[in-house]
Amino acid sequence: MDKSTGSKRFDNAVKQYLKEACVLWELDGAGGAPRLIAVAHDSPMIVMSLCQGQTLRRVLIENHQLGFEDYIRIYKEVSDSLLAVHKRGWIHNDFKNGNVLIELKRGKVSASIIDFGLASRPGANPKFPTGTSEDYMLYQWYAPELYLYGVSLEQSDSWSLGVAMKRTFTKLQERQPDVGALPDDLDKLLADMTDPRCCAANHGCPVRRPHTAPCSPLAGQVASQT
């Protein structure tokens, strides 16, 4: 690698870290996000508070004791945390089970959204590489409008949350056959959240896709009925 290439990569890394630092500063812990402590200006490094817990991806792999009701409670907290991020004026754009930390303690659940390197303001172009529908096979948690049309909205995170929930419940049904089919309301919500036609039919503006907000009351309702 020549010096000019290395210098350019270093400059890009600094910009990326400073951008994430700005997001964390404005979030100020909303959604369980880590709090910004310090920024190193002479090297691409930020110091932030420690968030407790395991990634939800790791929880799903290692904890075989959790059942349907447990994951309903977990995703209620996750959707509440994601909504708190939106209320601070930011879209995550990279939400997946690996970017949320879950702490299970004495029957209580807490969720911390992490990794805000791709976050943007609502309506902004997050500058994802232009792609095609075939790219969904590689990055299915990214909302289609992010890289097809260059637009980011709250509903973009709804897509990602819907994909995460569908993957979790599919895995749970494989592991615990007695779980059975999802409740009709939840099944319909997840289908709406991950319907690509909500993007294409509106030229990149997924107005028909639900926001993350409906997930919380619905999750609470489903948990109370199971």
Q: Dump pLDDT digits (tens) for 7-25.
A: 666 666 677 788 899 999 9
Asked if pLDDT for residue 110 goes beyond 70, the answer is yes
Ordered strands of the 108-113 beta sheet: 54-55, 100-105, 108-113
| Model pLDDT, residue 78 | 93
Residue 202 scores a pLDDT above 60:
no
Higher pLDDT, 79 or 134: 79
Span 90-95, average pLDDT: 94
First to last CA, the chain: 58
**Residue 152: what pLDDT?**
87
Domain boundaries, the chain: 3-48, 54-225
pLDDT digits (tens, 9 = 90+) for 131-170: 555 555 567 888 888 877 788 888 889 999 999 999 999 9
Class of 54-225 in CATH: mainly alpha
Contacts of 85 (CB under 8 A, 6+ apart): 27, 30, 31, 33, 91, 92, 113, 157
- Return the higher-pLDDT residue of 55 and 180: 55
User: What is the pLDDT, as a whole number, of residue 201?
Assistant: 47
Q: Which pLDDT does position 140 carry in this prediction?
A: 81
**Residue 160 to residues 26, 98, 111, 210, Cα–Cα distance (Å):** 22, 12, 16, 12
CA distance linking residue 198 with residue 145, whole number of Å: 10
CB 132 within 8 A of CB 63: no
pLDDT in tens, 25-69: 999 999 999 999 998 877 778 899 999 999 999 999 999 889 998
pLDDT at 226: 46
